[in-house]
Amino acid sequence: MSSSQSPETVASRSGAKPKTFTFKVVLLGESAVGKSSLVTRFARNQFDQYKESTIGAAFVTKEVPLDSNAIANLHIWDTAGQERYKSLAPMYYRNAAAAIVVYDITQAESFGKAKSWVQELKRQAGSAIVIALAGNKTDLSNRRTVSREEGSSYAESLGLLFFETSAQSGENVEELFSELAKKIPRSAEPARN
Ligand code: GDP
């Protein structure tokens, strides 16, 4: 039996066409923590510099299975550095069903910044938004300055999903997006970009 969870497998196993739920997901966090790299790893299973122009309204889509008869079609928005201009941020997270707030485990300052993004989302994005906290760059754990416990206990205190990831090695990247998708209430669709 195949362990593959591709949408095709889901469809053929249940014998019916799975229902697709479309959700908008945004990535937030300090510059250079690896937001673009996480999206590239997840959507294309690649790690590169992602230097293409993603200025303005850029998102990628990727389907993930939710269960035997449902698929999430994620519209994943990478802010492409524009999150530095505070006033533009609400444009990204408005109408988002979920947000991934990323920090770099080797940069304690980026963890502080992640906390302020979480606070802003809690205040401004509506209580229904599902938030995941991602401590990225675990392949550089010899340079770690934020412990796993710091990240997980902060996430737990606020009811956030928490993963430590590496866009470079791929560790936990699939899990991050797929667990997030499963936590989104299906009533959160459709994605309104
Ligand atoms: P963004 O500004 O948050 O979108 O960050 P980028 O995705 O552009 O990544 C910033 C830099 O960190 C780039 O040089 C990436 O190659 C590097 N980077 C991103 N993720 C990882 C990771 O998991 N491990 C390592 N070692 N480097 C990473």
Report how far ligand 1's centroid is from the alpha carbon of 168 (Å): 8
User: Which of these, 98, 95, 87, lies nearest to 131 by C-alpha position?
Assistant: 98
β 70-78/59-67 pair status: antiparallel
User: Does the beta carbon of 50 sit less than 6 angstroms from any atom of ligand 1?
Assistant: yes
- Which tens digit of pLDDT belongs to each residue from 46-77? 887 544 544 444 689 999 999 999 999 999 99
The pLDDT score that the predictor gives to residue 66 is 96
Q: Give the pTM.
A: 0.88
Q: In this predicted structure, what is the pLDDT of residue 94?
A: 82
Note the pLDDT tens digit of each residue in 91-101. 788 889 999 99
Q: Which DSSP category does 1 fall into?
A: -
Q: Give the residue, out of 26, 36, 37, with the most ligand 1 atoms within 8 A of its beta carbon, to mutate for a pocket test.
A: 37
Grade residue 26 by pLDDT with cuts at 50, 70 and 90.
very high
Residue 67 CA to ligand 1 centre (angstroms): 31
Residue 127 pLDDT class (50, 70, 90 cuts): confident
* Strand order across the 70-78 sheet: 59-67, 70-78, 19-29, 98-104, 130-136, 161-164
Counting atoms of ligand 1 from 1, which one is nearest the CA of 137?
23
Kindly report the three-state secondary structure assignment for every residue of 5-22: CCHHHHHHHHCCCCEEEE
CA nearest to 34, candidates 183, 164, 179, 191: 164
Distance of alpha carbon 72 from alpha carbon 21, whole angstroms: 5
Residue with CA nearest ligand 1 atom 11: 32
Q: What is the ipTM of this complex?
A: 0.99
Question: How far, in Å, are 10, 128, 132 from residue 116 at the CA level?
Answer: 39, 18, 14
Specify the residue for token string 């492409």.
Answer: 80
Residue 107 near ligand 1, beta carbon < 6 Å: no
Q: Which regions of the chain does DSSP assign to beta strands (E)?
A: 19-29, 59-67, 70-78, 98-104, 130-136, 161-164
Instruction: Indicate whether residue 75 lines ligand 1 (CB < 6 A).
Output: no
The yes-or-no verdict on residue 192 having pLDDT over 70 is no
Output the six-digit token pair for 106.
């080797």
Comparing 52 with 80, the larger pLDDT belongs to: 80
Q: What is the mean pLDDT of the chain?
A: 86
The pLDDT, as a whole number, for residue 57 is 46
Mean pLDDT of 33-58: 74
Q: Is the model's pLDDT at 3 over the cut of 70?
A: no
Cα separation, 89 vs 35, whole angstroms: 15
100: Cβ below 6 Å to ligand 1? no
